[in-house]
């Protein structure tokens, strides 16, 4: 049997970055991917109407890591884009994340500056020194009305769990602002890959042996390798020996419309109305010009592809059991959103893959 230096399971960011880096120093690498495409959940493609769409939910690239930006810039040029997202409540669109404009819109005020906005929020927020869950996190920064209108039901829809049973880190992803910054993210670098994400992966993997439609479980006995990099769900790797780790999934409904645009923003969130959480029209972010548009409604669900690790105490404890046995395995590395059971973004995934490469590069 032919033996590779590294068998890499999964062609998302974690697997592809490591494949590219290890290949670049002369290691013999094989990537296997169970789907019929590379790119993991960041995959995008042109649909029948020629609209560039994101297959697994909107992927808005942003980073503060200079290292990640310059590494990925070897494989793509960028379209600078500051993402604007709105929240729709009773058919009115509000600035989101909450900022001074939202406070004025929602409470019918005319707060003129940051001090006034801060004073107003101070009068609303609850005295919670150390928020212990996703509900307390918002109450501590913005109070009950904002929490109930913008966060409570969205979070219940998204996770199928009450915010009091979810980690504070989930809602802490969303800032509460006193200025009028309308951008979804405050990150200094925000941009979309000029020719789409799939092009990044094509460029990264262009000289690397790759087998699509290949599940690790079906081929693991048949492929010889010295080291294994695994980016799939960690519980599946160990055949669920401690029980299943919960993941949240999504059902996407794509609709192509015979008009240039459907909405004015790349994303509109529906915290309280409809069964979907959001409608995405990615064309606004890709800056693509074409006569038709494709929108996507996202319906969260339990079963299906594992998209989101669910940050809460009991899940972390279960993950730790897997992590413990994983750490004992020699020459086997678990990395990425599913293998580390961590709610991380693309840039964080790339950063941890680059960090792992730094450790591996001097080994045999
Ligand atoms: P993945 O992209 O999930 O890749 C893992 C790959 O492994 C998959 O292709 C899978 O098919 C394959 N695999 C699994 N098991 C096996 C097996 N047994 N055999 C072979 N192959 C296997 N990040 C951002 O920065 N900005 C965003 O706006 C953003 N939006 C998101 C929206 C949604 C709906 C989701 C789900 C995620 C979003 N992310 C976003 C996060 C981003 O998708 C992840 O950070 C990134 O994809 C993680 O890369 P990864 O390689 O760890 O995992
Ligand atoms: N959230 C919310 N209302 C919104 C948007 C987000 O309550 O309109 C909460 C919700 O719990 C969500 C979390 O904030 O899961 C993180 O939102 P983000 O937009 O970062 O989620 P992602 O894009 O990763 O799905």
Provide the sign of the torsion angle of the four alpha carbons 299, 305, 310, 315, taken in this order: positive
Q: What is the pLDDT of residue 165?
A: 97
What is the 3-state secondary structure of 35-87?
CCCCCHHHCEEECCCCCEEECCCCCCCEECCHHHHHHHCCCCCEEECCCCEEE
Counts for the chain of helices (H) and strands (E), in that order: 14, 17
Whether 310 contacts 247, CB under 8 Å: yes
Q: What is the pLDDT of residue 98?
A: 98
Q: What is the pLDDT of residue 364?
A: 73
CA 152 to ligand 2: nearest atom: 7
Q: What is the pLDDT of residue 2?
A: 72
Q: What is the pLDDT of residue 363?
A: 85
Query: What is the number of residues in the chain?
Result: 364
Q: Does residue 9 line the site of ligand 1, with CB under 6 A? A: yes
Q: At what angle do helices 346-360 and 13-24 cross, to 10 degrees?
A: 30
pLDDT digits (tens, 9 = 90+) for 200-213: 999 999 999 999 99
Cα separation of 360 and 332, whole Å?
A: 11
- Pull the structure tokens for residue 191: 């941009």
Q: Does residue 162 line the site of ligand 2, with CB under 6 A? A: no
Pairing of strands 78-80, 189-193: antiparallel
Looking at CATH, the fold of the domain delimited by 2-82+191-245+309-363 is given as Rossmann fold (3.40.50)
- 362 C-alpha to ligand 1 centroid (Å): 28
CB burial class (10 A; 0-12, 13-18, 19+) of residue 79? middle
Pairing of strands 29-32, 3-9: parallel
Mutational test site, ligand 1, from 7, 11, 12, max ligand atoms within 8 Å of CB = 12
Ligand number nearest CA of 173 is: 2
HSE, side-chain direction, 13 A CA sphere, residue 239: 2
The domain locations on the chain are 2-82+191-245+309-363, 98-172
The residue nearest atom 9 of ligand 2, judged by CA position, is: 171
Whether 235 contacts 322, CB under 8 Å: yes
Ligand number nearest CA of 156 is: 2
Residue 279 is given by DSSP the state E
Does the pTM of the predicted model rise above 0.95? yes
Residue 362 is given by DSSP the state T
Q: Does residue 158 line the site of ligand 1, with CB under 6 A? A: no
Q: Does residue 316 line the site of ligand 1, with CB under 6 A? A: no
Pairing of strands 44-46, 29-32: unpaired
CA 215 to ligand 1: nearest atom: 19
- 67 C-alpha to ligand 2 centroid (Å): 27
Q: Which residues of the chain have pLDDT under 50?
A: none
- 157 C-alpha to ligand 1 centroid (Å): 21
- Pull the structure tokens for residue 255: 């609709």
- 170 C-alpha to ligand 2 centroid (Å): 7
Q: What is the pLDDT of residue 1?
A: 65
- 200 C-alpha to ligand 1 centroid (Å): 15
Mutational test site, ligand 1, from 39, 231, 282, max ligand atoms within 8 Å of CB = 231
Q: What is the pLDDT of residue 295?
A: 98
Q: What is the pLDDT of residue 151?
A: 98
The residue nearest atom 34 of ligand 1, judged by CA position, is: 57
- Pull the structure tokens for residue 12: 């998302």
């Amino acid at each position: 049997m032919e033996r590779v230096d590294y068998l890499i399971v999964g062609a998302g960011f974690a697997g592809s970055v490591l494949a590219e880096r290890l290949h670049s120093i002369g290691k013999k690498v094989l990537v296997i991917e169970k789907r019929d495409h590379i790119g993991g959940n960041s995959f995008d493609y042109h649909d029948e109407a020629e609209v560039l769409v994101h297959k697994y939910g909107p992927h808005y690239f942003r980073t503060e890591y200079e290292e990640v930006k310059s590494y990925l810039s070897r494989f793509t040029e960028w379209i600078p884009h500051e993402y604007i997202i709105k929240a729709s409540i009773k058919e009115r669109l509000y600035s989101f994340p909450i900022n001074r404009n939202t406070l004025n819109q929602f409470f019918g005020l005319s707060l003129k500056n940051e001090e006034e906005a801060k004073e107003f929020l101070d009068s609303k927020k609850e005295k919670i020194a150390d928020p212990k869950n996703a509900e307390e996190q918002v109450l501590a920064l913005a109070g009950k009305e904002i929490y109930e209108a913008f966060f409570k039901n969205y979070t219940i829809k998204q996770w199928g769990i009450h915010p009091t049973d979810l980690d504070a880190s989930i809602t802490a992803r969303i800032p509460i602002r006193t200025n009028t910054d309308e951008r979804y993210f405050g990150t200094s670098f925000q941009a979309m890959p000029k020719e789409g994400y799939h092009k990044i992966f094509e460029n990264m993997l262009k000289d690397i042996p790759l087998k699509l439609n290949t599940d690790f479980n079906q081929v693991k006995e048949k492929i010889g390798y010295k080291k294994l990099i695994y980016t799939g769900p960690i519980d599946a790797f160990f055949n669920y020996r401690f029980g299943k780790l919960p993941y949240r999934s999504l059902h996407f409904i794509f609709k192509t419309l015979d008009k240039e645009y459907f909405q004015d923003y790349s994303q509109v969130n529906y915290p309280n109305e409809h069964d979907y959480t959001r409608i995405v029209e990615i064309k606004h972010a890709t800056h693509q010009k074409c006569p038709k548009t494709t929108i996507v409604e996202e319906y969260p669900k339990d079963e299906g592809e594992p998209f989101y690790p669910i940050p809460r105490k009991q899940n972390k404890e279960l993950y730790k059991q897997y992590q413990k046995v994983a750490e004992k395995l020699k020459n086997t590395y678990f990395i990425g959103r599913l293998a580390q059971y961590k709610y991380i973004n693309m840039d964080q995934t790339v950063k941890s893959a680059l960090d792992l490469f730094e450790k591996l590069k001097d080994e045999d």
